Amino acid sequence: MTTSERVPTGEPGVASQTPWHEGRLGAAATGVVAVALALGIAELLSALGRWVGVLGASSSPIVALGQTFIQFTPEWLKELAIRTFGEHDKDALTAGMLLTVLIVAIGIGLIHRTRPRVAFVVTLGLLVVAGAAVLTRPGADALDLIPLAVGGLVGVAFLIAVARSRLRPATPTAADDSAKPTDRRRFLSLLAGGALVAAAAGGLARLIPSAAQVAESRLRVTLPTAADQQRLDVDGTVLPVAGLTPFVTANADFYRVDTAYAVPALTTDTWQLRIHGAVDREITLTFDDLLAMPAVERMITLTCVSNEVGGKLAGNARWQGVRLADLLEMAGPQGGSDCVLSTSADGFTVTTPLAALTDGRDALLAYAMNGEPLPVEHGFPVRMVVPGLYGYVSATKWVVDLEITRFADVTAYWTQRGWSPQAPIKTASRIDVPAGFARLTPGTVAVAGMAWAQHRGIRGVQVQIDDGPWQDATLSGELTTDIWRQWSFPWAATDPGIHTIRCRAVDADGMVQTDQVQGVMPDGSTGLDSRQVTVTA
């Protein structure tokens, strides 16, 4: 089998193109490139779609086909794979699937050489099978077919282009396409071009970080032990009241507020933090650099500025990280700067007073939350945590850039939308039990809740029933000024009827929480939380 056959053209003395036929090897290459093109482009589109969050995992034809393949693999074959390949059984089955795809591709190429129309039909049939594989994946929807559809279109277009590169024979023949000479230059450039595009698409698809890569990166993190750990007796201090908010908020329950349409997909090998601006030295940190630095672990309560009175946008966790003060000292902020503009991987910005990061409080560049690497939706791999400031002016998640500058020169995301550039946390308290509109049997009712005034501390909490006097509640231990406190009050609820319970906190400076009602904008809500309940007869 040769790829080049010389056929006499007839008239001597007349220059004519030597007829050339791509032969079976060329045909096989055509099929492989067509399928590679279709798959490469489909995978690229799928990776892009998954990255921005509009497509699911089933939009990847290779994933969908692989999962379907595994689903239909007979048990004996699966067991053979496990016995032979051990851990790599799934890889072996995938390789088997890809080999099948390669054989099919060669087949399409060979059919295309003689009967291009039949090849189209076979290709369309295979696209339908692949489409069915995509659609039958759990959670798949019509959108997930787009990558396969576009890739399939490109693959078919390629086949058509190759078919077009065949010339009409000089003499009419009844033979199939394999007798038609091919425009050699066009055929080879099509093949080369197609292979190049397929390789580029496949390569690019690989570069786009997927949720699986991020999850894997997170699992591979080994947390160093913080040199400076707090010694806190949390268990000895918690109040034993049913229905009270847990003192430490589990990662899965921690409130989440951000503007991320799709959670930024950062891995530890690609993450970098650049510290620049009005500094003597620009610094660039990698994740390994950060973990090698002396770290502290601190329990800090965070809260969102848009937390309404009585709301649940507050949480308390142990954070481990490097003190921002240390990092800033390394960079050397220049006189006149008063602000740090931090940027998230998705472009979200935050302005924080430089003073709050350097005044000795536990402002951290954190990489761990409650003893694990940051969950992806809470800022993996690195975020800022600053006690005493609302999140929108301090708690940049997925942080990748710190610029030392002046408030006069920059505005951050929420500040641009009318929120206050400076936002220290206001004193707050809320009632957890009893529930609103609860119907209570007469007797002693446990009234309890939470109070916080980060970085000032809570001195006391008081409770009022109807128009009665303000009475002191019992508090959980005072651990640090950056952590909230639980409170409880036993109410002798003997009087049947409707009653209103109110609470208020007093901070460590002696300032009583204001009863003025203010909405969340521009710098946090105020007002006293209250519950109407009914004591039954």
Partner 1 sequence: MLIKRALSLVAAAGLAVTLAACGSSATPAASSASSAASSAASSMMPSSSMAAPSSSMAPSSSSMSSGDAMGASLVGPGCADYAKQVPTGAGSVDGMAQDPVATAASNNPLLTTLVAAVSGKVNPQVDLVNTLNSGDFTVFAPVDSAFAKIDAGTMDTLKTNSTLLSGILTYHVVAGQLDPGQVVGTHPTVNGASLTVTGSGDTLKVNDASVICGGVKTKNATVYLIDSVLMPPAS
Residues 424-483 that bind partner 1 (CB under 8 A): 431, 435-437, 439
Residues with Cβ within 8 Å of 416's Cβ and at least 6 positions away in sequence, in order, are none
Whether the CB-CB separation of 150 and 201 falls below 8 Å is answered with no
Closest approach of partner 1 to the CB of residue 482, in Å: 21
> Toward partner 1, which CB reaches closer, 25 or 223?
25
With binding defined as CB under 8 A, does residue 278 bind partner 1? no
Burial of 172 (0-12, 13-18, 19+ CB in 10 A): exposed
Whether the CB-CB separation of 424 and 511 falls below 8 Å is answered with no
How, if at all, do strands 443-452 and 428-433 pair?
Answer: antiparallel
> Toward partner 1, which CB reaches closer, 205 or 404?
205
The only residue of 125, 294, 332, 519 in contact with partner 1, by rule CB under 8 A? 519
With binding defined as CB under 8 A, does residue 100 bind partner 1? no
Closest approach of partner 1 to the CB of residue 136, in Å: 13
State which of positions 315-374 bind partner 1 (CB under 8 A).
none
Phi-psi region of 481 (alpha: psi -120 to 50; beta: other; left: phi over 0): alpha
Which among 158, 56, 203, 34 is positioned nearest to 105, based on CA atoms?
34
With binding defined as CB under 8 A, does residue 53 bind partner 1? yes
Rounded CA-CA distance 491/470 in Å is 12
Rounded CA-CA distance 74/78 in Å is 6
- In 53-115, where does DSSP find H-type helix? 61-72, 75-85, 89-114
Backbone φ and ψ for 229, nearest 5 degrees, come out as -110, 145
With binding defined as CB under 8 A, does residue 529 bind partner 1? yes
Which among 163-171, 256-264, 272-280, 321-329 is the span making contact with partner 1, rule CB under 8 A?
Answer: 256-264
Which DSSP category does 390 fall into?
Answer: -
State which of positions 18-37 bind partner 1 (CB under 8 A).
25-26, 28-29, 32-33, 35-37
With binding defined as CB under 8 A, does residue 46 bind partner 1? yes
Closest approach of partner 1 to the CB of residue 255, in Å: 6
Rounded CA-CA distance 142/134 in Å is 9
The only residue of 132, 355, 492, 498 in contact with partner 1, by rule CB under 8 A? 498
> Toward partner 1, which CB reaches closer, 54 or 167?
54
Total residues contacting partner 1 (rule CB under 8 A)?
A: 102
What kind and span of H or E run contains 122? helix 116-135
With binding defined as CB under 8 A, does residue 102 bind partner 1? yes
> Toward partner 1, which CB reaches closer, 1 or 408?
1
Closest approach of partner 1 to the CB of residue 81, in Å: 12
> Toward partner 1, which CB reaches closer, 83 or 281?
83
With binding defined as CB under 8 A, does residue 82 bind partner 1? no
Hey, what are 351's tokens? 């302005």
With binding defined as CB under 8 A, does residue 188 bind partner 1? yes
The only residue of 39, 81, 244, 327 in contact with partner 1, by rule CB under 8 A? 39
* 429 bridge partner residues: 451
The C-alpha angle 514, 517, 520, rounded to 5 degrees, equals: 105
* 405 bridge partner residues: 339
Rounded CA-CA distance 420/326 in Å is 27
> Toward partner 1, which CB reaches closer, 328 or 348?
348
What kind and span of H or E run contains 228? strand 228-229
The only residue of 52, 118, 143, 212 in contact with partner 1, by rule CB under 8 A? 212
Whether the CB-CB separation of 386 and 303 falls below 8 Å is answered with no
Mask for 136-175, x = binds partner 1 (CB under 8 A): -xxx------------------------------------
> Toward partner 1, which CB reaches closer, 42 or 473?
42
Rounded CA-CA distance 461/449 in Å is 10
With binding defined as CB under 8 A, does residue 308 bind partner 1? yes
Which among 60-68, 78-86, 122-130, 267-275 is the span making contact with partner 1, rule CB under 8 A?
Answer: 60-68
Which among 172-180, 285-293, 305-313, 486-494 is the span making contact with partner 1, rule CB under 8 A?
Answer: 305-313
State which of positions 391-410 bind partner 1 (CB under 8 A).
391-392
Coil vs helix vs strand at 314: strand
Closest approach of partner 1 to the CB of residue 196, in Å: 7
With binding defined as CB under 8 A, does residue 52 bind partner 1? no
The only residue of 229, 259, 471, 494 in contact with partner 1, by rule CB under 8 A? 259
- The label of the residue with tokens 């302005």 reads 351
Rounded CA-CA distance 261/266 in Å is 15
With binding defined as CB under 8 A, does residue 255 bind partner 1? yes
Mask for 119-138, x = binds partner 1 (CB under 8 A): ------------------xx
With binding defined as CB under 8 A, does residue 56 bind partner 1? yes
Whether the CA torsion 94, 96, 99, 100 is positive or negative: it is negative
The C-alpha angle 124, 129, 135, rounded to 5 degrees, equals: 120
